[in-house]
């Protein structure tokens, strides 16, 4: 029985050890006294129930006084503890994440932390969306389209447009015709003067900033080697463009910047990525005039003195405009490349950007979003530092952590460039206003503003992708990431074989059709052309014209092996892995459910209102005695029987006992009844709003029975972890009782057998006395004694 008592106590405390004296039983060596009495906790007048929902949908009651509580620390110890941990608790409160807090054994805490992270991140996402979309406008497209139509589609008298330029003569025809007409607007459509002086307003709305600039890059003569058989007929040789072979000697009239070479640093130029190659920012340049007449004279002089010759490899027109209506700059560069093969290849580059940022109210709202964005970046920097300090190198094993770092780094670069751009534009505009005859070089700023916009677009893309980090707990959301993660090795291995075949066909197409088909003219174009063939976008007639025999063979074999076989192998790998992942996830419950958080809040509110309503009902019952006066003693005894605490009863009574005589007269009773009725009606309305059918759902829960709330008034609710610990202890206690019961039954069986053997022995002894002689009786008794010894030993052992 001692073992039984110890064993029972051990399961009540949860601290168990094995005792060899009890033959494998579990006892608690550190807890020998009886458990402390359960303190009474009332939930009638000041109910504080905690309604905890487990992940399996069940709900549990927690009684704070049911189990021994830890000793409360003194005020001095508590103040010292607060001083030591004040900073840490503040950091955990502000920057607590699933990586900084221990949530491995607490799914509810993990759920709440994830939800809080998601809500904070959604605010950040809204801010970055406002920030990004606030810097652009649909007017940007129309501004770019207007400039494109004007400078690209305007034709000269002989029908030359910019995109139809094919020779140097066409270049000069376009420059002296459509270009001049497009750059300088001095009259209305009825030939009435605009009265803007020497300032040009393109389309009457877009001011031409400064003066346009022409620039060319030349190649040295004899930069290539002529074959000996043609040296007598060919006097000069100009190679394809190479920065090392640029002509740096003056030529032509020599006097002026158009005939003198300038380095990229001297003219503060920038390199350009053309259709044929990348060109430096150096060369020979000429700034045009502020009026049409002045510019026409300059162009005529350049053409008459052969400013363009055999050594010219590229010519540029650079100018900028500003539209005050939409606060947009348009930086335009017209490029004509002159390859070593002869002819001309036109191209253009138009960048529409917003360089002046803060003018309207909306702009200042975006400024507020930018400041808010900076605070968010500081917040996330501290968060990532804390996570990195905790997890060290294992921090980089998660792709989401790497994505966090990428987003933060791009954001920091964006912030620095925004400050740099604002300062640089102010200086440039100030200089331009002081000297309006200078070339307005916005090429550098427009380039980096475009890269800034591209960087923000990429950063916003990553920011949206990061949302999957917080919603991937759901098995539906997890299917994509799990499928790609599991089949990554198979895809990478098969991709190696796929691209061997793919690049083999790309080289074949380049060598077969590169001389005649534009889409196969370079190896890089071959690669993209083959991707387009996979998507169904191809020009089979061009391939067939280039090679009537090998063209169809190339096309048919490529489509069969790459499209029908290899590409579908990728799909087969993904589909097979997806089926496995879906089957596995279908047998698992979701680890986290955001619905549980809202359901628990719903249940807390519901139970609080329900308990308050029951409290009012109990007081109303106490007032239904019908007597004109109710003494405090009777009132107290009635409510005590219903499970109410003394201090709660005193509060309720003294609230309406206005004269303090410990007796409720008729008026005081009426006031109490009226107030209780109003409160009960209000609570009933709130309960109806929460859901009339929720009480039925609550009654279906095995662990929560509404009708037992009064009997369980001393209980509140436990969290899942504590409930599981209690369940484990009860199961152990039940198992121990079952073991004891089995052994007790075994002992009883042996004792029954012992009793039967004793009775049989006594019966035999009596019959021996009656039938045998004295000597036989002695022998029989002696044998009976011998047979009885083992039974006694066995009984002692038991």
Binding residues for Ca(2+): 657, 659, 668
Residues 715/638, Cβ–Cβ less than 8 Å: no
| Vertex 128 angle, CA 125 and 129, to 5° | 85
Distance CA 253, CA 390 (A): 72
Residues 650/44, Cβ–Cβ less than 8 Å: no
Q: Strands 345-353 and 52-53: what pairing? A: unpaired
Distance CA 630, CA 661 (A): 11
Short-list 192, 160, 201, CA closest to 178: 160
Q: What are phi and psi of 323, to 5 degrees?
A: -110, 110
Three-state SS sequence of 672-718: HHHHHHHHHHHHHHHHHHHCCCHHHHHHHCCCCCHHHCCCCCCCECC
Three-state DSSP state, 348 = strand
Task: Give the position of tokens 């022409």.
Answer: 214
Distance CA 685, CA 692 (A): 10
Burial of 200 (0-12, 13-18, 19+ CB in 10 A): buried
Bridge-partner residues for 345, per DSSP?
337
Task: Please enumerate in sequence order all residues whose Cβ is within 8 A of that of 101, keeping only pairs 6 or more positions apart, or say none.
Answer: 92, 109, 113
Structure tokens at 636: 């107290």
- The string over 451-470, giving b where at least 16 C-beta atoms fall within 10 Å of a residue's C-beta and e elsewhere, is ebbebbeebbeebeebeebb
**Number of residues that this document lists for the chain:** 798
Distance CA 564, CA 557 (A): 10
Distance CA 67, CA 722 (A): 11
Task: Please enumerate in sequence order all residues whose Cβ is within 8 A of that of 748, keeping only pairs 6 or more positions apart, or say none.
Answer: none
Residues 421/448, Cβ–Cβ less than 8 Å: yes
Helices (H), ranges, 166-205: 168-174, 180-183
Q: Which pairs from 463-469 meet CB under 8 Å and 24+ separation?
A: 463/124, 463/125, 463/128, 463/407, 464/125, 465/403, 466/121, 466/400, 466/403, 466/404, 466/407, 467/121, 467/125, 469/400, 469/403
Structure tokens at 277: 């190659």
Structure tokens at 465: 């992708």
Distance CA 76, CA 81 (A): 9
| Vertex 428 angle, CA 423 and 433, to 5° | 130
Residues contributing to the annotated binding site: 657, 659, 668
Helices (H), ranges, 28-179: 75-95, 107-134, 139-153, 168-174
Q: Could you say which DSSP state residue 314 is in?
A: E
What are the DSSP calls for 61-78, one per residue? -B-TTSSPPPPPPPHHHH
Cα separations (Å) of 628 from 594, 624, 655, 664, 665?
55, 11, 18, 8, 6
Task: Please enumerate in sequence order all residues whose Cβ is within 8 A of that of 574, keeping only pairs 6 or more positions apart, or say none.
Answer: 483, 487, 491
Q: Which pairs from 498-503 meet CB under 8 Å and 24+ separation?
A: 498/562, 498/566, 498/567, 498/569, 498/570, 501/561, 501/562, 501/566, 502/527, 502/530, 502/562, 502/566, 503/527
- The string over 491-528, giving b where at least 16 C-beta atoms fall within 10 Å of a residue's C-beta and e elsewhere, is beebeeebeeebeebbebbbebbbeebebbeeeebbbe
């Amino acid at each position: 029985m001692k073992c039984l008592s110890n064993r029972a106590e051990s399961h009540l405390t949860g601290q168990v050890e094995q005792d060899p004296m009890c033959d494998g039983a579990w006892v608690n060596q550190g807890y020998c006294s009886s458990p402390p009495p359960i303190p009474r906790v009332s939930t009638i007048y000041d109910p504080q129930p905690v309604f905890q929902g487990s992940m399996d949908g069940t709900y549990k009651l927690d009684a704070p006084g049911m189990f021994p509580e830890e000793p409360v620390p003194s005020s001095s110890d508590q103040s010292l503890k607060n001083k030591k941990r004040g900073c840490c608790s503040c950091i955990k409160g502000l920057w607590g994440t699933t990586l900084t807090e221990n949530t491995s054994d607490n799914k509810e805490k993990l759920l709440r932390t994830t939800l809080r992270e998601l809500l904070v991140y959604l605010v950040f996402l809204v801010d970055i969306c406002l920030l990004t979309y606030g810097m652009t406008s649909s007017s940007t497209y129309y501004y770019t389209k207007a400039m494109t139509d004007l400078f690209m589609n305007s034709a000269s008298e002989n029908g030359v447009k910019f995109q139809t330029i094919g020779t140097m003569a066409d270049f000069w025809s376009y420059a002296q015709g459509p270009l001049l007409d497009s750059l300088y607007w001095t009259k209305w459509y009825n030939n009435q003067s605009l009265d803007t002086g020497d300032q040009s307003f393109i389309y009457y709305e877009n001011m031409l900033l400064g003066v346009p600039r022409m620039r060319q890059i030349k190649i040295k003569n004899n930069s290539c080697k002529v074959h000996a058989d043609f040296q007598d007929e060919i006097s000069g040789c100009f190679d394809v463009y190479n920065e090392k072979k640029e002509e740096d000697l003056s030529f032509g009239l020599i006097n002026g910047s158009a005939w003198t070479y300038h380095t990229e640093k001297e003219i503060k130029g920038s390199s350009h990525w053309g259709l044929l190659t990348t060109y430096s920012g150096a060369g020979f340049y000429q700034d045009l005039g502020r009026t049409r007449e002045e510019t026409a004279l300059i162009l005529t002089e350049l053409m008459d003195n052969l400013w363009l010759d055999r050594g010219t490899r590229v010519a540029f027109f650079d100018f900028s405009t500003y539209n005050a209506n939409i606060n947009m700059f348009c930086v335009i560069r017209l490029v004509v490349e002159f390859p070593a093969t002869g002819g001309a290849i036109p191209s253009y580059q138009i960048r529409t950007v917003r360089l002046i940022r803060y003018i309207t109210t909306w702009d200042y709202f975006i400024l507020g979003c930018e400041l808010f964005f900076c605070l968010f970046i500081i917040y996330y920097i501290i968060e990532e530092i804390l996570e990195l300090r905790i997890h060290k190198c294992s921090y980089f094993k998660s792709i989401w952590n790497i994505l966090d770092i990428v987003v933060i780094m791009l954001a920091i670069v964006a912030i620095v460039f925004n400050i740099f751009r604002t300062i640089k534009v102010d200086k440039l505009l100030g200089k331009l206003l002081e000297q309006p005859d200078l070339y307005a070089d916005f090429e550098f700023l427009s380039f980096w503003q475009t890269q800034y916009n591209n960087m923000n677009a990429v950063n916003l893309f990553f920011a949206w992708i990061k949302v999957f980090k917080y919603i991937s707990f759901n098995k539906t959301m997890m299917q994509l990431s799990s499928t790609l993660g599991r089949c990554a090795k198979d895809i990478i291995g098969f991709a190696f074989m796929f691209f061997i075949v793919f690049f083999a066909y790309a080289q074949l197409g380049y060598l077969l059709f590169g001389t005649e088909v534009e889409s196969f003219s370079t190896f890089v174009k071959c690669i993209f052309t083959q991707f387009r063939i996979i998507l169904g976008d191809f020009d089979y007639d061009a391939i067939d014209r280039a090679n009537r025999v090998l063209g169809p063979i190339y096309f048919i074999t490529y489509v069969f092996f790459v499209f029908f076989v290899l590409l579908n192998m990728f799909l087969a790998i993904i589909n097979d892995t997806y089926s496995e992942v879906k089957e596995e996830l279908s047998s698992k419950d979701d680890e986290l459910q955001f619905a549980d958080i809202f359901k628990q809040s719903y249940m807390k509110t519901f139970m609080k209102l329900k308990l308050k309503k029951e409290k009012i009902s109990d007081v109303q019952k106490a007032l239904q005695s019908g007597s004109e006066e109710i003494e405090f003693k009777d009132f107290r005894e009635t409510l005590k029987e219903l499970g109410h605490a003394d201090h709660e009863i005193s509060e309720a009574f003294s609230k309406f006992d206005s004269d303090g005589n410990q007796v409720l007269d008729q008026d005081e009773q009426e006031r109490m009844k009226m107030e209780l009725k109003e409160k009960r009606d209000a609570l009933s309305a709130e309960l109806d709003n929460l859901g009339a059918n929720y009480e039925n759902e609550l009654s279906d829960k095995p662990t929560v029975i509404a009708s037992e709330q009064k009997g369980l008034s001393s209980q509140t609710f436990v969290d899942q972890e504590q409930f599981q610990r209690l369940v484990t202890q009860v199961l152990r206690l039940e198992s121990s009782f079952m073991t004891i019961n089995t052994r007790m039954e075994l002992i009883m069986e042996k004792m029954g057998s012992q009793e039967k053997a004793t009775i049989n022995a006594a019966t035999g002894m009596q019959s021996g006395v009656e039938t045998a002689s004295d000597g036989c009786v002695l022998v029989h008794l002696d044998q009976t004694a011998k047979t009885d010894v083992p039974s006694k030993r066995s009984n002692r052992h038991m």
